[in-house]
Amino acid sequence: GTLVHPQVVMTAAHCVIPERPIVGLGFGEHGQTTGVPARVVEPIDCVGNPEYYAGSGADVAYCLLSEAVLDVPIVPLLAGCEVEQLTPGREVYIIGFGADFGSYDPGTDTVTATGVGPKRWTTQTVDFVDDFAEEINLLGSNGSQSACFGDSGGPGMVQLDDGSWRVFGTGGHLYDPGGLPPPMIPDNICGVGAAYGFAPFAIEWLEQETALDLTPCWNGDEWTPSPDCADFALAPEVGAGTWATGCSDGPIGGGDPPECADYMPPPGGSSSTGDTGDTGDTTGEPESSTGVDSTGSPPPTSDGPMPPDPLPGDTGTGGATDTDTAAADGGSGDEGCGCRADRSAPARGTAAPWLLLAVVALRRRHGRRHGGRPVGA
């Protein structure tokens, strides 16, 4: 999953199974099989996109957190005219804890996966956006470099033309259009490509369900920056700090409209909150357009339970384990935010610090979806 708001984690709908609920969301460099998350936050609820279950909607879900996570800088969702930049051939990034190798036996409906975790990334190129399935199809560069089992729900990210970063989707299922090189490892069904639930199709549903503004710079296709249209992670690919401080030592900023936005700043003002991205410091405690105050807590609604206000001094590290006391040097250890150097998958890079968080849950289903195997473990 991906933290897209202090109180919202976006994941894949096929990972949300009522019979096997998600009981915690872990932040860190490891999934369940290779270590312990640096911290764990309980969800109030996790809900999948109902249109996905009906057969024609984005494979997207959300988990509403019981505590606001305030110290981890966020990469915003792709929205508005920014979507136009995800054209065929565009380089994007996928991040996950998934396996290096996967095989499938149709006779027994058995999946075998090895090499799950720790968190890693790799590049892909956009093939095309499927408007019916509401997903984006991605291709690895050599037939052996893509998502695999265990990457479900993890983020797809893109660096826009202006250098800023956006989250565009969630890991869904394997994708193989044919005609690509054979895998480097014989019989490996992973590596050719992957389809990701395309988040722009689900933004309206996500915001209605959570009653939170998940796109503080946009209102539909209009650039309408609120005070929360700032303090975004500007270099999520670079390790910075430790998990004890939310890996928040990297540059933050944002709030400038893209060239495609038809936006006229108000007289005497600017398009952003005035943050230059150098320090991320702000003055005062602005309130967002959705009523979310500076603590990240939304107003109460009649649609269901909402998270309580954070306690005084709370940094959103709820459920933390003793592994939160990370090494102060920010190196490549388990709790540091630097890239891991002790192992990496073939043709996959090591992980940036806080691009992804693990979903602590039971094993997910293996049903087919749009012609491919889900990449969930």
Q: Dump pLDDT digits (tens) for 161-218.
A: 999 999 999 999 999 998 888 888 888 888 889 999 999 999 999 999 999 999 999 9
Run of H or E residues at 164: none
Q: How confident is the model at residue 339 (pLDDT cuts 50, 70, 90)?
A: very low
Q: How confident is the model at residue 349 (pLDDT cuts 50, 70, 90)?
A: very low
Average pLDDT of 299-317? 34
Q: How confident is the model at residue 248 (pLDDT cuts 50, 70, 90)?
A: confident
CATH code assigned to 80-201: 2.40.10.10
* Burial (0-12, 13-18, 19+ Cβ within 10 Å), 329: exposed
Give the pLDDT of residue 187: 85
| pLDDT at residue 100 tops 70 | yes
Q: Are the beta carbons of 71 and 60 closer than 8 angstroms?
A: no
Average pLDDT of 81-96? 95
- What would the pLDDT profile of 129-162 be if each residue is shown by its tens digit? 999 999 999 998 777 789 998 899 999 999 999 9
Residue-wise DSSP of 313-363: T--S-TT--GGGS--TT--SSSSBSSPP-S---TT-EEPPSSS-EEEE-PP
Residue 269 contacts by C-beta under 8 Å, 6 or more apart in sequence?
A: none
Average pLDDT of 299-312? 35
| Sequence ranges of the domains in the chain | 80-201
Q: How confident is the model at residue 299 (pLDDT cuts 50, 70, 90)?
A: very low
Residues 190, 50, 129, 359: is their CA dihedral positive or negative? Answer: negative
Among the residues of the chain, which ranges form H helices?
50-54, 203-210
Give the pLDDT of residue 1: 92
